[in-house]
Amino acid sequence: MADGNRLRAILELVEESLDEPDLDGAGLAGRAYLSRYHFDRLVRASLGEPPGGFRRRLLLERAAYRLGSTSESVIEIALEAGYASPDAFTRAFSRAYAVTPTDYRHRRRSSHWLPADSGIHFHPPGGLRLPATERSSTMDVLTRMYEHHIWLSGEIIDRLGQLDDSTLDRRIDVSVEQIDAESSLRGLADRVVRQLEMWATAVEGGTTIPAGDTTVAGLQARLRTAEPRFRAAVVAPVQDGRADDTFLDLTCAPPQTFSLGGVLAHVLTFSAVRRTLAIGALSTAGITDLGAGDPMHDVGGTGDDASAITRNFE
């Protein structure tokens, strides 16, 4: 197992063990199938803290969170943090936060986090908050959303080939006025591709946009042609920090001036509506393997499709 994967496994072990405050470093090392020496060396090198200190800090952060958000007594919170007596807990807490647990409870705090070079902290109610391994900018997120848009649009169009013409042209009962009223699967796919064709042409300085083939094969071919044009005209300059570059759109009557960043935001906003409607219509037609088309995996994270998760609301 690579060290990065092994460290993630260790973090998961620590997270799972927060409700076992009496578990020591030897016990954690055993659960990680590592010697105590190798376990301590790996954790210290990766996190800048020995395993015992790392875990104690997380338990103190959890205690601070519970002091500020629950009515549990200080004694209960001390025992949950692995301290045999309130006095021992008070001493450790006061060293870490420079106030007693009781004083902390009565002060408004913006965060329960303690300083840590690793950037790993307790995240309520019982997890960990991990920093990104690489820094990303707003434009990184935006362009990853674009990558998801292109991938999902292609997947949707590919699945249209499983349906007959009557299904492709059937009116979708839920439509969005002023965007795609009385839409169909074929019409939605055409508009998703046409957006790319339209804006690529506008940025390139073209004046007309020819109508395109709306057969499934035609839509696939158009997407393969339009996407690299749009990427070169809009996405690449935005990635290079030129989101505020403007151009005169001669395909409008009268001509209008737009920014490249505005174009990308526009495409992602309106295509999201169209993709969602198309995925719903595919589901009605019995094609459900795309789920809800959630971009979470492409933008970051390992959770399931967030739109399908059951949450605990009171």
CATH of residue 155: 1.20.120.450
For residue 314, is it within any domain?
A: no
For residue 24, being part of any structural domain is answered with yes
Q: Has residue 313 been placed in a domain?
A: no
Token readout for 160 is 């249209």
d(CA 229, CA 232): 5
**pLDDT tens for each residue of 190-211:** 999 999 999 999 888 888 888 8
Q: Do 69 and 204 sit in the same domain of this protein?
A: no
Residue 270 located in a structural domain: yes
Q: Per residue in 98-115, pLDDT tens?
A: 999 999 988 866 688 898
| pLDDT one-digit tens code per residue, 23-80 | 777 888 888 788 888 888 888 887 888 888 888 899 999 999 999 888 899 999 999 9
186 and 123 both lie in a single domain: no
Highest mean pLDDT among 4-13, 14-23, 86-95, 102-111: 86-95
The last residue of a domain, from among 110, 129, 148: 129
- What span, in angstroms and rounded, lies between the C-alpha atoms of 99 and 181? 61
Handedness of CA 281, 284, 289, 295 (dihedral sign): positive
**7 pLDDT exceeds 90?**
no
Residues 19 and 94 occupy one common structural domain: yes
Based on the fold, state whether residues 167 and 245 are members of the same structural domain. Answer: yes
Containing domain of residue 284, as a range?
Answer: 138-308
If asked whether residues 59 and 84 sit together in one domain, one would say yes
Task: Give residues with Cβ within 8 angstroms of 222, minimum separation 6.
Answer: 193, 197, 212, 213
**Measured distance CA(64)–CA(69) in Å, rounded:** 9
Number of domains in the chain: 2
pLDDT at 300 over 70: no
- Last residue of one domain, picked from the residues 83, 101, 129: 129
Assign residue 47 the CATH number of its domain: 1.10.10.60
Residues 177 and 296 placed together within one structural domain of the fold? yes
Which amino acid is present at 84? A
Nearest to 204 by CA among 226, 220, 188, 187: 226
What are the distances in angstroms from CA 175 to CA 139, 183, 213, 298?
Answer: 31, 6, 23, 27
Structure tokens at 259: 């920014």
Residue 36 burial (C-beta neighbours within 10 Å; 0-12, 13-18, 19+) = middle
Q: Is the CA virtual torsion 218, 219, 220, 225 positive or negative?
A: positive
Shared domain check, 286 and 156 = yes
% of the chain beyond a pLDDT of 90: 36
107 and 159 together in one domain = no
Instruction: Yes or no: say if 117 and 44 are a contact pair by the CB < 8 Å rule.
Output: no
* Residues 287 and 258 reside in one and the same domain: yes
Q: How far is CA 192 from CA 10, 59, 266, 277, in A?
A: 44, 50, 12, 12
| Helices 86-97/51-69 angle, 10° precision | 100
8 and 84 within one domain: yes
Q: Please tell me whether residues 154 and 300 are part of one structural domain.
A: yes
> Within a domain: residue 215?
yes
Which DSSP letter does residue 39 get?
H
CB half-sphere exposure, 160, CA atoms < 13 A:
27
- Coil/strand/helix, residue 180: strand
Domain annotation covers residue 266: yes
Given 105, 129, 153, the domain boundary residue is: 129
Would you say residue 19 lies in a domain?
yes
Residue 20 belongs to some domain of the structure: yes
For residues 156 and 298, membership in a common domain is answered with: yes
* 3-state secondary structure at position 247: strand
